Structure 1
Amino acid sequence: MTITHRSPDLSALAEQYATDGFVLVKGLLSKEEAAFYRERSHTLLAQLNRHDDPTWKSAMGLSGGATRLQHLHDAQFYDAAFSRLMVDPRFTDVAAAVMGVEGVQLHHTKLFVKPPENGSPFPLHQDHPFFPHQYHRVGAAIFHFDDAPEEKGCVRVIPGSHLQGPREHDPEGSYHLPDVPFESATPQPAEAGDVLFFTYLTVHGSGVNVSEEARTTWLIQYRDPADPPTVKTHDHSLGQGMMLRGTDPTHRSGV
């Protein structure tokens, strides 16, 4: 497995992140690494034989019919390869730079596979209402383990939407934003090995996978350890509070 050693311009990434609320880092993982993690992802899901489907009820409005989605919380507790990826400096250095902090703390992780032909979409939303924090120094990184063109239901974002702060979401529709047209979001097609970073205030979603291949991604949600949550949520997430980079000045850990 070949490991890349690219050193992106962290200052430029941080500047774009501050302006747009997101940045797509190309080739953060090598193609070989991405293929390895894709294989591990699908093997894990097959071994665990999970049948729960996290598709949002509001996804029906985007798909026009029934869709499917496979997922797994806390993949790092099933396979050490994911644990290594969480603390890889290629990831943690970018996460720290775009947040403008030294320490990066784990909030939770989710593995997603959109099956071929009818992989579930995600309506436009912010992540903020699911786990609000006082200073909003919370972000996400989506690792692409295979190519994600538009036909696979790639992530879409609304550039600069984070600057408007928290928005009112529809609690009856899985906290989506009913007044924001899905077509207003800009597609972010990605290749295997690319990683999309965005703040939890950035409005984002994804389309239906109508292709003949699965779309495989791993989401790491992280935060500044000095940013306290205002509501205690996601307590079920294993390892919440783990330091991925630096130290926790608050000694709060998973609280």
Structure 2
Amino acid sequence: MTTDLNLAAKKYATDGFVLVKGLLSKEEAASYREASHQLLARLNRDDDPTWGAATGMSATKTKLQHLHDAQFYDAAFSRLLVDPRFTDVAAAVMGVPNVQLHHTKLFVKPPENGSPFPLHQDYPFFPHTHHRVGAAIFHFDDAPEEKGCVRVIPGSHLEGPREHDPEGSFHLPDVPFESAVPQPAEAGDVLFFTYLTVHGSGVNVSDQARTTWLVQYRDPGDPPTVRTHDHSLGQGMMLRGVDPTGRSGA
């Protein structure tokens, strides 16, 4: 499916996000879903990244599976990182020709009690000078509202960085979760948003897992104000174009 890059860039500039439908085919998404679950099972990671601030968003205890840097365990994810269908959109919405990797995270919300994420901006976790930093959430299976789909507050990026709760997760306790608009997606859809866009996600109360891959990208010409996520393998890798600064991961 061909993406209208100009239309995507306009919506991204206005709303702070754009959901690109069918960036991957259903067959590709299913293949990545299988690879994701096999990878998590093979590595047998038992750490749960559920935020403490998520307590109270569900009547029961929730859980979450995740993995940093999936591209260092399975080459299929490496290919997806440099797929022009993805990188051309990332470049268009940022308004720059060059796209650099910041980090990736694979997430699986288990059935019935998959953990939510309180509303937040990504900005405080890895602030940059010019705010040309974004995220792409690849949906490897359907994500209706009952599976805890992503929610966003349209236009929230225009207000710039916000004051966050500094305890643990940097969430926004004063912003009602209900004020965020659900963004249900189908397998193969990719949600792009700026790191200033207020977003979160609900509890997966369905009987099926929700599988997504988060790719954080940036303009290599936008220097970080704080060095973070240095543990992320491949930070500074060029996904499209060149790094005109010569800084790489710096």
Bin of the TM-score, shorter chain as denominator length: over 0.9
Q: Which of the numbers 99, 110, 118 marks the counterpart of 1:115?
A: 110
- The answer to whether 1:64 aligns with 2:59 is yes
Identify which range, 165-174 or 217-226, moves more after superposition. 165-174
| Aligned partner letter, 2:171 | H
What CA RMSD, in Å, does the superposition of the two structures yield over aligned residues? 0.5
- The answer to whether 1:126 aligns with 2:121 is yes
- Superposition misfits of 4+ residues, deviation over 3 angstroms: none
Q: Which of the numbers 123, 138, 143 marks the counterpart of 1:148?
A: 143
Tell me the CA shift for residue 173 of structure 1.
4.6
Structure 1 Cα separation of the partners of residues 94 and 125 of structure 2: 19
Structure 2 Cα separation of the partners of residues 254 and 149 of structure 1: 36
Tell me the CA shift for residue 172 of structure 1.
1.4
Give the aligned partner of residue 87 of structure 1. 82
Q: Which of the numbers 3, 9, 13 marks the counterpart of 2:4?
A: 9
Structure 1 Cα separation of the partners of residues 21 and 189 of structure 2: 5
**Local SS of the residue matching 2:200:** strand
Give the aligned partner of residue 166 of structure 2. 171
Structure 2 Cα separation of the partners of residues 173 and 77 of structure 1: 27
Structure 2 Cα separation of the partners of residues 135 and 34 of structure 1: 33
Tell me the CA shift for residue 64 of structure 1.
2.9
| Aligned partner letter, 2:206 | S
Q: How does 1:234-249 map to 2 (within 5 A)?
A: 234-249=229-244
Give the aligned partner of residue 21 of structure 1. 16
Structure 2 Cα separation of the partners of residues 204 and 65 of structure 1: 22
Alignment TM-score, normalising by the size of structure 2:
0.99
Count, aligned residues:
250
Alignment TM-score, normalising by the size of structure 1:
0.97
Structure 2 Cα separation of the partners of residues 22 and 64 of structure 1: 30
Tell me the CA shift for residue 9 of structure 1.
1.0
Q: How does 1:25-104 map to 2 (within 5 A)?
A: 25-104=20-99
Structure 2: unaligned runs, 5 residues or longer: none
Structure 1: unaligned runs, 5 residues or longer: 1-5
Tell me the CA shift for residue 227 of structure 1.
0.2
Give the aligned partner of residue 197 of structure 1. 192
Tell me the CA shift for residue 171 of structure 1.
1.4
What are the superposed Cα offsets for residues 162-204 of structure 1, whole Å, 9 maximum, x if unpaired? Answer: 0000000001151100000000000000000000000000000
